Amino acid sequence: MKTVLSALLACFLCLAGHDALAQISDINSAINKAGRQRMLSQRMAKAYFQIGQQIDVDRSRKILDASIAIFDRQLVELKNYAPTPEIKETYLKLEKSWLAYKDVLVGATPSPENGRKVLAISEEVLVLAHQATVLLEKKSSSNAGRLVNVSGRQRMLSQRMAKYYQAASWGIADNGGTASLGKVRKEFSDALQELAVAPANTAQIKDSLDLVRQQWIFFESALSQKIGGDKRAQLAVATTSERILEEMERAVGLYEKLPK
C-alpha cells in the first residue's frame, strides 16, 4: 500500500508541482484547482483509451490512478471552499456525475463498449467542472483570475485533443470527432497567442510560455500523424500530451501567484 501511495504522490507532484498539495488559500488557488478538474476529466478518458489499446500501459495506468485520486481530493476541497450557494450546488451536481464516471473508469477492464461510455460521461463531467470554474472566475472579478482560468483551460484542451485522437484510433469516436479535434487545436493555438501578449506577464511567465510553445510544436506534429497499426503515432500523442501538460501546469502556477 505504501508503494502505491508513494507512486500516486510522485505522479501528483510531477503533474501539478508542490503548490498543488496545499489547501485552497485564495480565489486564484480555487480557480486553478477548479480548472484542473476540467483537465482531469479529459486526462482520465485519454489514459483509459490508451490502456484499452495497450499503449504505454504501465504509465497510462499510473496516470489514470493518480488523476482519479487528485480529482477526488480536489472535489472535497472545492466543495468546502465554495463561496456562494450557486457554486456549492454546481459542485454537488459534479459530485454525482463524478461518481458515475469513476464507476465506469474502474469498474471493469477497458473495452470499446465501456470506452464509449467513458467518452460520453467525460463530456458531462467537463461541462460541470467548467461551469464551476467560470463561476469562481466571476467571483474573483480580477484580471489575474481570468488569466488563471484561460491558462488553466489550456491544460484541459491539451488532454482533450489527446482524448479525441485516442478515441479515433480505438474506433469509438463519434462522427464529429475529427472536426472537434480541429476545433480544439485552433482554440489552443488562439489562447496561446492571447496569453503571450497579456500585459500582466512577468519575465518568468514569458519564459514558461516559450517552453509551452516549443512543446506545442511537438504535440501538434504528433496529432497530425496518421493512425497506424504499429501504434507509434498513438504513443507519440500519449507522450507529447503529457509533456505539454507539465509545461502548462507551471505556467498556470505562475499566473496564480499574480496579485489579486
Q: Give the model's pLDDT for residue 174.
A: 81
Task: Give the residue carrying C-alpha cell 506534429.
Answer: 221
Residue spans of the domains in the chain: they are 2-256
Q: Give the model's pLDDT for residue 17.
A: 47
CB-CB contact of 15 with 245 (8 Å) = yes
Q: Give the model's pLDDT for residue 99.
A: 97
Which amino acid makes up residue 64? L
| pLDDT tens for the 260 residues of the chain, in order | 444 444 444 455 455 444 555 689 899 999 999 999 999 999 999 999 999 999 999 999 999 999 999 999 999 999 999 999 999 999 999 999 999 999 999 988 899 999 999 999 999 999 999 999 999 999 998 999 999 999 999 999 999 999 999 999 999 998 777 788 999 999 999 999 999 999 999 999 999 999 999 999 999 999 999 988 899 999 999 999 999 999 999 999 999 999 87
Q: Shortest CA distance to 215 belongs to which of 252, 179, 184, 240?
A: 240
Q: Shortest CA distance to 65 belongs to which of 147, 112, 3, 156?
A: 3
Query: Exposed (0-12), middle (13-18) or buried (19+): which is 30, by Cβ within 10 Å?
Result: buried
Q: What is the DSSP string of 18-72?
A: GGGGSPP-SHHHHHHHHHHHHHHHHHHHHHHHHHHTTSSHHHHHHHHHHHHHHHH
Please state the pTM of the whole predicted model: 0.91
Q: Shortest CA distance to 235 belongs to which of 176, 153, 182, 165?
A: 165
Query: Exposed (0-12), middle (13-18) or buried (19+): which is 16, by Cβ within 10 Å?
Result: buried
Q: What is the DSSP letter of 1?
A: -
Q: Give the model's pLDDT for residue 260.
A: 75
- No. of H helices and E strands in the chain? 9, 0
Q: Give the model's pLDDT for residue 213.
A: 97
All three cell numbers of 165, joined, read: 485522437
